[in-house]
Structure 1
Amino acid sequence: MTDGLDGWDEPRRRRPGPLWAALGVVLLLLTCGLPVVVLVGVLHEANGRPTVGRLATSADDPATLAARQLGERIAAQLDRQATALLGGDRAGFLAVAEPAAHPALTRRYAALRALRVTVWRPEPTGLPTTVPGRPDEWRIVVRFQYCVVVPGCRPSPVLIGTRWREVAGTPRLVAVEESRSVETGTRPWEVSELVVAVGPRTVVATTPALRGKLPGLLRQAEAAAQVADGYAVGGTPPDRYRVFYAGRAEWLSWYGGGRPQWTGGYAVAVGGGHYEVVLNADGLSATGADDLLRHELTHAASLPERGYPGTSIWWLVEGIAEYAGAGGTPVGRYEGLAKVRGILAPGGGWNGRLDDLAPAGDAPAQRVGGSYGVGYLAVRHLVDRFGEQRLLEFFRAVVHDRRTLEKASVQVFGELWAGLHDECVAYARSAAG
């Protein structure tokens, strides 16, 4: 089983951090060819809602004062649009925008409604600035916070650039950009038509072309969620597991694309304590989806929202997900044993250290599959020796509390990690035959 979890110490697709931290970073990747915008000057009211214009002073020059006033009018338009979205009023959602923006906004509205959006809170950041080469247009980055299905969830934030033009003193939305941030990349509902199925524990979305897969995917996801709930190391399991099933084009665009060729699926942190899971429809068999869903949903249940510290514990993070993904299959029937034998053999590409097990993005399939397999077997050995509960305590100490393997091993297992490490590797060799 291979995935592309985004969750190392500085995860490749992290959730956006708190707004005060976001103000000091450059948004909108240079690599995407977009203008660089640095957010400054966000102010907060007592209720935490950013404001763009309440503190105008006599020191403001006329241009700044005008920008503040325009920002307040834009915020009012965004609030009207949010009310329309949550109320199912498509005409009202489009009413704040120029006709040229309607097709893209209509698609976005339909996707969010299909996902059963329950919270949509726009928070303008900074002041509007003029768009280079377009003196009649203004641009402002908006932090949208959203929930799907569950009304009381901790919202996930996304930073999106918006462009506006004043018409008879009223700001009109001209365009909404894609959120091409370093942290997460473009969300599916920004760029794709979506069809959605919702169950008690999961929400599963795909494109209209793959609509026929939805009923089966929902059943598989619900079954996988029952397994993944048992690995909620941080306490309460996710309110809903969010799963997106990507066709070929969507795989290249959702969340920034660019995954290693061996990736069959991945879990990406999107903020608010949520992970969103993406499966690659190309080449994924029906039985493979069961294993992969258990694997990826276990990431969503087990990982802390800030990711995990570095590749040295990749074996543990992926090992526990593989253990869940195996679904109780006997060790001798684990499908990756042949690849484990390959990397354990002389010249197999692994030096025998668990902290050096993570495969490179361009690693061959043999190395990748063997790495996941060794991680699974190492975790399986710890479970066999100490039980699942103590394994989860060890995982929490290392991944959540960021204790060293040495300290966590003594604390949880009462044994030195050096000895347990060698036991895990020896067990992998023995199991692979």
Structure 2
Amino acid sequence: MEDDHRSTSDWVARGFGAVGVLLLAVSSVSVVFWPRSDHPKPATAAPIVTAAVPDQQTRLEREVQSVLRVQIDALLGGDEAGWLAPVGPEVRNRYRSIYRNLRNLEVSRADYGVEILGRSTETEVSARVMIGYCLSGATCPAWENRIDQGAPKLLYDLTFERRDNGYVVTKIADVEDGNHLQPTPWERTELRFARGERVIVAGPRGQAKNLRKVLAAAEKAATVVDRFSTEPPKRYRIYLADDKTWKTWYGGQLSKWVVGYHIALNQTGSDIVLKTGELVDSNRQLALTVQHEMAHAVTMVPSYNQDPNEDLWLIEGVAEYIGFLPGKPQNTESRYSLRSWFDEHGALKSIVRPELTDESDDLTVSALYATGHYAVGCMIDRYGQPRLLDFVKRVLQDGEDLDPASRAAFGKPFKTVDRACVSWITQRV
């Protein structure tokens, strides 16, 4: 599907009914997020009972849609005054921040759905609003009435008051536990931005001093990462979190050892978040982490893998391989992690590492990353980068099992590849 820049009036949808690496020495640290399959999905819940009669409910719904349509058209057209026109002073600052952030993030499309809530009256309307959005030239899919499908969504409960024969927004409330992709970095604070040819870096006011440094590292990383995708993102987006925003963006990351993560925006691009205070003092750590997280953006999106935890060794392995380039696995910290594993647990039996659990110790975690790192190096050495990337796509994006993916990509059963790479790794560790 080609990128579509039509306004939301063409797309109205009515009534919607990873773990981090702990290497023994300095290395990249990351977490990868996917939508939680057990997360509540308000967009598919039973319709909310309303006290309004059907004709009144339909009319109120249409009036709210009319307000949103004007706003979305103004947003896409670069009209800040039009975006703010139906907004009361109570929430004007937040709406202004959202507008300016989205314009800097190159918003290209926005769609919406509306559901009138039961407490609505003629003078005050309560509505649950779902807004889908696409950024930075991403191909925008058709509207889906689900939080976890189609474009990424925002979910709000809005209050509209009738003033001067029109409705204005007077309250905006997040829907508690409503959306795994909220709060986004850009919906509550007006951010500062730095833009390069391939990357947008953004952060709150206090991170302004770090924007250019991270942008330089990311632009350099993009020249490496782009080579691992036939269709890399039109823009990579990196958000710099301070200690406060780190605890809130996308639900907050509280593990002390995590300094960066990549999160897929459903099937429509992805975001990278960095805990900047842990990275900016080390140019090497910053470069490794940025390149590692950007590697996830080209190897994991879009993904239809229903159980990615089983493939974490490959997910992190390919990101480590790309992240450490131009270094080879045996010339990086991965070597020391595997040596420590061998000393404690004996010879490597398979390149496939078991799923991590809450009880996994530091060495188990670092060994998973290191084994995956070496395994990807082995498969590239033996079969070439194009076949490795085909294998990665089949497993991580298409959700194929290892053996059929191996036979299709390498022309060999996976057990053959596994055995050969165990030998390859052992010789180099």
Report the TM-score, using the length of structure 2 for normalisation.
0.80
Identity across aligned pairs (percent)?
26
Counterpart residue type for residue 33 of structure 2? D
Match of 1:186 in 2: 183
- Relative to structure 1, is the Cα distance of residues 116 and 417 closer, same or farther in structure 2, using a 3 angstrom cutoff? closer
| Cα distance in 2 for residues equivalent to 1:13 and 1:104 | 31
Match of 1:415, SS state, is coil
Match of 1:252 in 2: 247
Task: Say if 2:261 and 2:274, in contact at 8 Å, map to a contact too.
Answer: yes
Following TM superposition, by how much is the alpha carbon of 1:5 offset from its aligned partner in structure 2, in angstroms?
A: 0.8
Task: Please report the RMSD computed on the Cα atoms of aligned residues, expressed in angstroms.
Answer: 3.1
| Cα distance in 1 for residues equivalent to 2:207 and 2:355 | 33
Following TM superposition, by how much is the alpha carbon of 1:108 offset from its aligned partner in structure 2, in angstroms?
A: 2.0
Please say if 1:379 is aligned against 2:376.
Answer: yes
Match of 1:31 in 2: none
Please say if 1:206 is aligned against 2:203.
Answer: yes
The 5 Å alignment of 1:17-32 reads: 26-27=41-42
| Cα distance in 2 for residues equivalent to 1:115 and 1:428 | 42
How far does the alpha carbon of each residue in 1:15-62 deviate from its partner, in whole angstroms, 9 at most, with x for none? x9xxxxxxxx6339xxxxxxxx93649xxxxxxxxxxxxxxxxxx996
Match of 1:99 in 2: 89
2:157 to 148, 155, 162: 162
Match of 1:38 in 2: 45
Match of 1:323 in 2: 321
Counterpart residue type for residue 257 of structure 2? W
2:272 to 251, 272, 277: 277
Task: Say if 2:124 and 2:162, in contact at 8 Å, map to a contact too.
Answer: no
Match of 1:34 in 2: none
Following TM superposition, by how much is the alpha carbon of 1:96 offset from its aligned partner in structure 2, in angstroms?
A: 1.1
Match of 1:177 in 2: 173
The list of structure 1 runs, each at least 4 consecutive aligned residues, that deviate by more than 6 angstroms after superposition, is none
Report the TM-score, using the length of structure 1 for normalisation.
0.79
Match of 2:31 in 1: 4
| Cα distance in 2 for residues equivalent to 1:213 and 1:342 | 36
Match of 2:363, SS state, is helix
Task: For structure 2, list consecutive stretches of 5 or more residues without a partner in the other structure.
Answer: 1-27, 142-150
| Cα distance in 2 for residues equivalent to 1:64 and 1:275 | 40
Following TM superposition, by how much is the alpha carbon of 1:209 offset from its aligned partner in structure 2, in angstroms?
A: 0.6
The 5 Å alignment of 1:5-404 reads: 5-7=32-34, 11-12=35-36, 26-27=41-42, 38=45, 40=47, 63-119=53-109, 121-130=110-119, 137-150=124-137, 153-154=139-140, 156-168=151-163, 169-178=165-174, 181-232=178-229, 235-258=230-253, 260-284=255-279, 285-310=282-307, 311-346=309-344, 352-361=349-358, 363-404=360-401
Following TM superposition, by how much is the alpha carbon of 1:272 offset from its aligned partner in structure 2, in angstroms?
A: 4.9
Following TM superposition, by how much is the alpha carbon of 1:388 offset from its aligned partner in structure 2, in angstroms?
A: 1.0
Following TM superposition, by how much is the alpha carbon of 1:94 offset from its aligned partner in structure 2, in angstroms?
A: 2.5
Match of 1:200, SS state, is coil
Task: Say if 2:304 and 2:398, in contact at 8 Å, map to a contact too.
Answer: no
Task: Say if 2:321 and 2:329, in contact at 8 Å, map to a contact too.
Answer: no
Following TM superposition, by how much is the alpha carbon of 1:240 offset from its aligned partner in structure 2, in angstroms?
A: 1.2
| Cα distance in 2 for residues equivalent to 1:61 and 1:99 | 29
Following TM superposition, by how much is the alpha carbon of 1:346 offset from its aligned partner in structure 2, in angstroms?
A: 2.9
Match of 1:19 in 2: none
- Relative to structure 1, is the Cα distance of residues 252 and 425 closer, same or farther in structure 2, using a 3 angstrom cutoff? farther
| Cα distance in 1 for residues equivalent to 2:162 and 2:124 | 11
Counterpart residue type for residue 83 of structure 1? D
- Relative to structure 1, is the Cα distance of residues 61 and 313 closer, same or farther in structure 2, using a 3 angstrom cutoff? closer
| Cα distance in 1 for residues equivalent to 2:318 and 2:240 | 23
Match of 1:144, SS state, is strand
Q: Mean Cα displacement is larger for which, 236-245 or 135-144?
A: 135-144
Counterpart residue type for residue 406 of structure 2? S
- Relative to structure 1, is the Cα distance of residues 327 and 81 closer, same or farther in structure 2, using a 3 angstrom cutoff? same
Task: For structure 1, list consecutive stretches of 5 or more residues without a partner in the other structure.
Answer: 17-24, 29-36, 42-59
Match of 2:32, SS state, is coil
| Cα distance in 2 for residues equivalent to 1:145 and 1:231 | 29
Counterpart residue type for residue 140 of structure 2? R
Task: Say if 1:159 and 1:181, in contact at 8 Å, map to a contact too.
Answer: no
| Cα distance in 2 for residues equivalent to 1:67 and 1:225 | 50
Match of 1:346, SS state, is helix
Please say if 1:411 is aligned against 2:426.
Answer: no
Counterpart residue type for residue 413 of structure 1? F
Following TM superposition, by how much is the alpha carbon of 1:325 offset from its aligned partner in structure 2, in angstroms?
A: 0.5
| Cα distance in 2 for residues equivalent to 1:309 and 1:124 | 27
| Cα distance in 2 for residues equivalent to 1:65 and 1:154 | 33
Task: Say if 2:262 and 2:272, in contact at 8 Å, map to a contact too.
Answer: yes
Match of 1:204, SS state, is strand
| Cα distance in 1 for residues equivalent to 2:101 and 2:264 | 20
Task: Say if 1:204 and 1:214, in contact at 8 Å, map to a contact too.
Answer: yes
Following TM superposition, by how much is the alpha carbon of 1:189 offset from its aligned partner in structure 2, in angstroms?
A: 0.8
Task: Say if 2:329 and 2:373, in contact at 8 Å, map to a contact too.
Answer: no
